[in-house]
């Protein structure tokens, strides 16, 4: 097994404890489970491409089952061999599940069962949660999409507040590929960012998303470029000249290869003057030390000398939350926000995890009864039963029990396979889907802060409290 083949056997895309659950449970005829974002509201994204199209639509073979059994034997864990062989022999190798989910791009308030999964053939209830681990991996796509949209909305708000022109839309830039933990994370982050924001170094994403996306960057130096020159100042002038010769009007110069304050205090006036003769705007990038203080120092030089072709981009440890804090700092220092740009990188992408949005999967129906997790922590409580989300006339998202086929239901079926089907029915991904996700997300207000439940569900939750003598 290698990174190239890690998805070659979908049966193994789970935790080993799932191997034993069929033996531990009393009845696995029928089960239903929900996926939740329990702690924060989110823009839901990533299950169709990340799980449905790349896992569930893979045809299970006898060889895969044999391989899983061999690995189970090697690790001394049980494995539901007969169940998976039934998938091969009775169901043409496809898992007998129905996966319903909110349309991708939907805002889901905290506590939303944004996906509902159930088996379609009796006796396969254990497979409802088999892919729980990889389903929960989709937290990253949803988290990055949510944060990217929040950045867009925040940028728009500041643009209106100060009356800045459209160039302000580009003030937050994704530094791209280099800051990610994996190729998959790089893909999801770039896909999410490009839905809502124009500036990115993630050029690879252009291969995968709609041509309507605005993917752009500027000429930018790096320490390795500066290090080629014996004289730092002459190196900067060379970069400016070459930018102009290439027909470009903006270049970013990283200024901390040696001493950022020397660049600001000794070089900046002359550099700006030279760049003006070349028709080039300089973006200074402090990359170590107190970058906020360096930005203030640069602005003072710019203001004192009435320079019009200099600004700053800060990319160290920058997240949505830190960007808001930085803006407050610069506003207090009377530095115009259109002088400051931000580079989003590792500080944004690598400090999110499954708990950021509270992703979890919980059983809602099993062994012939509605079930729930009732925790002393309210955000960790799940919702019992088979549910049907819907919107009120006021636009609130509510949850009720599923009553009958055809009733108003915000879920859509994104995967379905049952006995008699040659292949599953499923929703496809691709550039058109990405565009639809973006367009839907842009209509979302993100103002609802809790999921609402109809009285019938609330009554059953109360019954759970009484039955299990929960005192809270």
**Residue-wise pLDDT tens for the chain (472 aa)?**
466 677 889 999 999 888 888 788 888 899 999 999 999 999 999 999 999 999 999 999 999 999 999 999 999 999 999 999 999 999 999 999 999 999 999 999 999 999 999 999 999 999 999 999 999 999 999 999 999 999 999 999 999 999 999 999 999 998 877 777 788 888 999 999 999 999 888 888 888 888 888 777 787 888 898 888 889 999 999 999 999 999 999 999 999 999 999 999 999 999 999 999 999 999 999 988 999 999 999 999 999 999 999 999 998 778 888 999 999 999 999 999 999 999 987 767 777 888 889 999 999 999 999 999 988 788 889 999 999 999 999 999 999 999 865 678 999 999 999 999 999 999 999 999 999 999 999 999 999 999 999 999 999 999 988 888 777 6
Dist CA 197 CA 78 (whole Å):
48
Domains and CATH numbers, the chain: 3-141+356-467 (3.20.140.10), 161-349 (3.20.20.70)
User: Cα dihedral sign for 324, 173, 432, 418?
Assistant: negative
Helix (H, G, I), strand (E, B) or coil at 285: strand
Those residues whose C-beta lies under 8 Å from the C-beta of residue 456, and which sit 6 or more positions away, are: 400, 401
Residue range 166-190, pLDDT digits in tens:
999 999 998 877 777 788 888 999 9
Average confidence score pLDDT of the chain: 92
Q: How many CB atoms lie within 10 A of CB 252?
A: 25
H/E run at residue 340: strand 340-344
Nearest to 451 by CA among 362, 387, 376: 387
DSSP single-letter state for residue 265: I
pLDDT at residue 406 in the model: 62
Dist CA 455 CA 174 (whole Å):
45
| Tokens 């896909």 found at | 191
DSSP calls for 311-336: EEEE-TT--HHHHHHHHHHHHHTT--
CA distances from 185 to 178, 352, 353 (A): 11, 11, 12
Nearest to 115 by CA among 92, 88, 97: 97
In this structure, the dihedral spanned by the alpha carbons of residues 57, 63, 64 and 69, taken in order and rounded to 10 degrees, is 150
Nearest to 41 by CA among 147, 135, 141: 147
pLDDT at residue 1 in the model: 46
Residue range 119-140, pLDDT digits in tens:
999 999 999 999 999 999 999 9
pTM, 2 dp? 0.93
Dist CA 214 CA 7 (whole Å):
31
User: Helix count (H) and strand count (E) of the chain?
Assistant: 17, 19
pLDDT at residue 141 in the model: 95
Dist CA 456 CA 381 (whole Å):
16
3-state secondary structure 365-416: EECCEECCCCCCCHHHCCCCCCEEEEECCCCCEEEEECCCCCCCCCCEEEEE
């Amino acid at each position: 097994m290698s990174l190239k083949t890690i998805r070659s056997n979908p049966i193994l895309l789970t935790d080993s404890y799932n191997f034993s659950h069929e033996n531990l449970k009393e009845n696995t005829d029928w089960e239903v489970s929900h996926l939740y974002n329990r702690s924060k509201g989110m823009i839901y994204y990533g299950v169709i491409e990340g799980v449905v199209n790349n896992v569930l639509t893979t045809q299970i073979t006898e060889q895969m089952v044999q391989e899983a059994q061999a690995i189970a034997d090697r690790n001394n864990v049980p494995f539901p061999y007969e169940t998976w062989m039934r998938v091969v022999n009775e169901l043409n190798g496809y898992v007998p599940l129905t996966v319903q989910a909110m349309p991708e791009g939907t805002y889901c308030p905290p506590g939303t069962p944004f996906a509902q999964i159930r088996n379609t053939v009796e006796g396969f209830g254990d497979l409802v949660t088999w892919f729980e681990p990889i389903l929960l991996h989709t937290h990253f796509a949803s988290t990055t999409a949510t944060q990217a949209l929040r950045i867009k909305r925040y940028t728009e708000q500041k643009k209106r507040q100060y009356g800045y022109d459209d160039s302000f839309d580009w003030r937050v830039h994704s530094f791209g590929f280099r800051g990610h933990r994996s190729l998959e994370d790089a893909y999801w982050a770039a896909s999410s960012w490009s839905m809502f924001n124009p500036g990115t170094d993630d050029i690879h994403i252009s291969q995968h998303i709609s041509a309507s996306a605005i993917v752009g960057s500027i000429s930018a130096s790096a320490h390795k470029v500066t290090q080629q020159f014996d004289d730092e100042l002459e190196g900067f002038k060379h970069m400016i000249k070459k930018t102009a010769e290439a027909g470009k009007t903006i270049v970013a110069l990283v200024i901390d290869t040696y001493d950022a304050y020397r660049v600001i205090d000794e070089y900046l006036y002359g550099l700006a003057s030279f760049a003006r003769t070349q028709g080039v705007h300089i973006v200074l990038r402090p990359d170590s030390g107190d970058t906020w203080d360096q930005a203030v120092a640069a602005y003072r030089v710019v203001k004192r000398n009435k320079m019009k072709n200099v600004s700053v981009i800060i990319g160290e440890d920058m997240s949505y939350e830190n960007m808001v804090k930085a803006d407050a700092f610069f506003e207090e220092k009377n530095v115009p926000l259109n002088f400051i740009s931000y580079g989003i990188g590792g500080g944004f992408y690598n400090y999110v995890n499954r708990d950021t949005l509270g992703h979890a999967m919980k059983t809602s129906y099993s062994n012939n009864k509605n079930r729930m997790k009732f925790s002393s922590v309210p955000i960790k409580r799940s919702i019992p039963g088979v549910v049907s989300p819907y919107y009120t006339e006021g636009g609130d998202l509510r949850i009720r029990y599923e009553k009958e086929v055809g009733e108003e239901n915000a879920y859509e079926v994104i995967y379905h396979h049952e006995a008699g089907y040659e292949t599953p029915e499923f929703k496809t991904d691709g550039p058109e889907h990405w565009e639809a996700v973006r367009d839907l997300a842009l209509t979302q207000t993100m103002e609802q802060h809790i999921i609402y439940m109809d009285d019938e569900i609330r009554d059953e939750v109360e019954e759970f409290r009484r039955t299990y003598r929960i005192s809270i």
